[in-house]
Amino acid sequence: MTKRGGKPKARNRKERREWPFIVYVWAMGLGLAGYLIVGRFILATRPHPYHWGAGLLGVALGVGVGWLWYRRWATSFRGTAGKIQRRFDQIRD
């Protein structure tokens, strides 16, 4: 009979690097705000690609702000934000 291996050892597994949830929240929020507020109201007389461009710039800005937010609060404070992120990681795995 062949032997079955157990669980893979931690050193053999690739470490998964995923974005924190707060980055997605900021990206979606600023993307939507960029599209609706800037694109639809401020750039209302411009062609439609400008509206989408404003939304994409909002998403890019949201990713940056989300990472800054995560780095500032989740890593230095280790309060509720860190607990929520750890719980979210446990549920996801």
| pLDDT value of position 80 | 61
Q: What's this model's pTM, rounded to 2 decimal places?
A: 0.61
Rg (CA), the chain: 20
Instruction: Please report, rounded to a whole number, the percentage of residues in the chain having pLDDT higher than 70.
Output: 71
Closest CA to 19 of 10, 31, 28, 11: 28
Q: How confident is the model at residue 11 (pLDDT cuts 50, 70, 90)?
A: low
| pLDDT value of position 62 | 95
Q: How confident is the model at residue 54 (pLDDT cuts 50, 70, 90)?
A: very high
* Average pLDDT of the residues of the chain: 80
Closest CA to 60 of 36, 22, 34: 34
